[in-house]
Amino acid sequence: MSATEDTAATPEARQAKARAVLEARARAELAAADAAAPGSDRVPWRGALLAQVAVVKGLPGPAEASGDPALSGADGDAAIKALERLGWSGQDVFFTLSRPEPGIEPERRGDRLRLQIEGVDPELVLAVDAEAADDVALAFGVERPRWGVVERVLGRRVVAVDGLEASLGDEARKARVWSQMRVAKPLGPVY
């Protein structure tokens, strides 16, 4: 057996190869999602391709309007801090906008978001505003999630909060959003 064959047979090498295959699949599915709603790649998604958490924001905020990827401003930082405080790894989060382009028809918008979530296959979907909550409901054909209540949707937990970005300058609203988000703890160890 050659040294190359021996190295490829290690558990670490097999795991790296499997991860590369899964990430390639997720990239292809995310590209298909953007193709389902032309113009939706105007605000690119960002984050982990094999995510434990998908954070969905409805409309572009200041960071996205200036050309940055989804939730790349203060709201993304706040989401990471909150998720880490709950016990999630900040490295395993996927961020997307459900309405990156105002002219996308609702049906295409829902299809795109469903394909994105299915592509990254998270345990938790966190809708961080009313538009995102509406679009998650549209994507999966369910009722809009209630604020701060864990909803089960096709084997995933979905939690909606009432305006993460809007809460950043309002201490009372920030406390309300945090209390809603606290139900989004991991169910077991996060690796």
Distance CA 115, CA 112 (A): 5
| C-alpha torsion angle, residues 99, 102, 104, 108 (rounded to 10) | 20
Mean pLDDT over 169-186 rounds to: 92
- Residues 6 or more apart whose CB falls under 8 angstroms from that of 100 comprise 39, 40, 41, 42, 43, 60, 64, 70
The model's pLDDT over 65-87, given as tens digits with 9 standing for 90+, comes to 888 999 999 999 999 999 999 99
For 57, phi then psi, to 5°, come to -115, 145
- pTM of this structure: 0.90
Could you tell me the fold of the domain covering 3-184?
Answer: Uracil-DNA Glycosylase, subunit E (3.40.470)
The 10s digit of each residue's pLDDT in 5-47 is 555 679 888 888 988 999 999 999 999 999 999 888 889 999 9
3-state DSSP assignment of residue 154: coil
Query: pLDDT tens, 104-146?
Result: 999 999 999 999 999 999 999 999 999 999 999 999 999 999 9
**What CA–CA distance (Å, rounded) separates 191 from 182?**
20
